[in-house]
Structure 1
Amino acid sequence: MRVFNNDGSEAKNCGNGLRCVSKYVYEASIVRSNTFTIETLGGIVTAEVHPTEKGHVDEVTVDMGIPALERAAIPMRGNEDELVINERISFGEQVHALTAVSMGNPHVVLFSDHLDTAHVQTVGPLIEQAAIFPEGTNVEFIQMKTEQEIDFAVWERGSGITQACGTGACAAVVAAVLNGKSKKDEEVTVHLPGGDLYITWSSENDHVWMRGKAATICSGEFYF
């Protein structure tokens, strides 16, 4: 699977894209099994579709793998082996507390008492393009409702504000666990503008699992 952002850059991974591709390849009989692997630039992931009796897929679960937390893996300038958990970093005249997570692509998570679009539009590009992130980064803004419920907004690298980000939802839950706001092995509901995702970080193998809907909105033919 290859994914391109709004600005033409290529994404290393895309949780929403994985669910959509999974639905398509199963319903088009490109794959026959309910469980199969998908190769992305960020690595190989395992997807499982949950078809109805008529063979329609409305929900997909994806094993998003083990989150990488070291600066070198994000990538983020500084001590390569260091983890960034609620670290206060200056961006010009602004200082923000960040938790950095890679889900095959870079994410930084900011906790907030409320989510404000104007704040996302201002702070998102400031952090995305900061020199400390040599490849840029996605920026998640999250508000903890409970240990198992999160409100979510995102500024995506190369795209700006979007309705949903699957890898970002995974990164948000990982960050919540790292900061003691959620727990491993407990499914967390992430409320995104485009719909809910259900994320679990397993203590058994450290893999992050994403479960969510997928729907066909249109189809057509492309000639090239």
Structure 2
Amino acid sequence: MVPFRKMHGLGNDFVVLDARRTDLPISPARAASIADRRFGVGCDQFILLEPGTDGADVFMRIRNPDGSEAGACGNATRCIASLVAEETGAGRVVVRTIAGDLPVERLPGGPKGELWRADMGPARLGWQDVPLARAMDTLHLPLAAPGVADPAACSMGNPHATFFVPDLAALDLGAIGPALEHDALFPQRANIGFVQVLAPDHLRLAVWERGAGLTLACGSGACAALVNAARRGLTGRRATVTLPGGDLVIEWRGDGHVLMTGPVATAFTGSLDLQAYPS
């Protein structure tokens, strides 16, 4: 039996397994089976911890519920940093992903006395960086679906397209999200954000996540939403982003890096028989 921890950031939930000291046979199919909400534990992303090297405290491998690998996950980054800090007593943790190193620090003031602020790295704004299928201005994409049009795009370690809408509640996100995720404009698919600007420092956001569907919170999507809103002149470079699961504070620094602040939580712990899941 292998121990696991179920964690979440604002309801964006993760099954976390630790392979830092013992190699675990986790294939994409096995990760997808564990992530299944009916036949497995259930989660938005499956997280495997691997040893950190060369200045990183831990390597975080991220798989979506369909088994595909994700480059970044802001809510998971905060969760994993809190685990490592619990082990080491450190107030700052570097989490490595396939998209790069993400420094995270503990701050006072969360629901349980602390928040976590992750440096999600620089927003990448070129069409090749997102990536898109062909050269174009990432501030205005030729893409539309019922009720939405003219998104902006950027990469936060994974591809994001952000639509700005007058009334988020009026959209059928479950109907339009899948087609937008798989549009030919996105050779690696994309996370699709839908944003209602409430004030120059307040956004409301829902995200159809690549490989996962609608989630209660998407940290990298919140970063992309603020960056794209600021690029459009709709907000400043710092805002509260309200998601279905709660609030994140996002800041796009002058050096291009995007900071994300929010809480973390452990829902429960347990153990898994890995052989009960397809290899």
Identity among equivalent positions (%) equals: 37
Secondary structure at 1:18's aligned position in 2? helix
Q: 1:135, 1:218 → 2: CA distance?
A: 33
Q: 1:50, 1:169 → 2: CA distance?
A: 19
Secondary structure at 1:142's aligned position in 2? strand
Q: Could you tell me which amino acid in structure 2 is paired with residue 218 of structure 1? A: F
Q: 1:114, 1:90 → 2: CA distance?
A: 16
Residue 62 of structure 1 pairs with residue 115 of structure 2 = no
CA contact (8 A) 1:23 1:58 kept: no
CA contact (8 A) 2:127 2:138 kept: yes
- Aligned residue runs from structure 1 range 123-202, under 5 A: 123-184=176-237, 187-202=238-253
Residue 19 of structure 1 pairs with residue 61 of structure 2 = no
How many residue pairs get matched? 213
Q: 1:72, 1:34 → 2: CA distance?
A: 36
User: Which whole-Å deviations, capped at 9, do the CAs of 1:150-197 have from their partners, x for residues lacking one?
Assistant: 11111000011110000000000000000001122xx31000011100
Stretches of structure 1 that go unaligned for 5 or more consecutive residues are: none
Q: 1:220, 1:176 → 2: CA distance?
A: 41
Identify if the C-alpha distance between structure 1 residues 51 and 218 changes in structure 2 by more than 3 Å, giving closer, same or farther: farther
Secondary structure at 2:151's aligned position in 1? strand
1:2 is matched with which residue? Answer: 61
Q: 1:222, 1:25 → 2: CA distance?
A: 21
CA contact (8 A) 1:58 1:215 kept: no
| Residues 130-139 or 109-118, more deviating | 109-118
Q: Could you tell me which amino acid in structure 2 is paired with residue 168 of structure 1? A: G
1:78 to 130, 134, 156: 134
| 1:94 Cα offset (Å) | 8.5
Q: Greater RCO between the two (CA within 8 Å, min separation 6)?
A: 2
User: Which whole-Å deviations, capped at 9, do the CAs of 1:25-55 have from their partners, x for residues lacking one?
Assistant: 112x1x3321121111111111102369xxx
2:262 to 182, 190, 212: 212
Provide the alpha-carbon RMSD of the alignment.
Answer: 2.0
| 1:95 Cα offset (Å) | 7.1
CA contact (8 A) 1:201 1:207 kept: yes
Secondary structure at 2:160's aligned position in 1? strand
- When the two structures are superposed, what TM-score results if normalisation uses the length of structure 1? 0.88
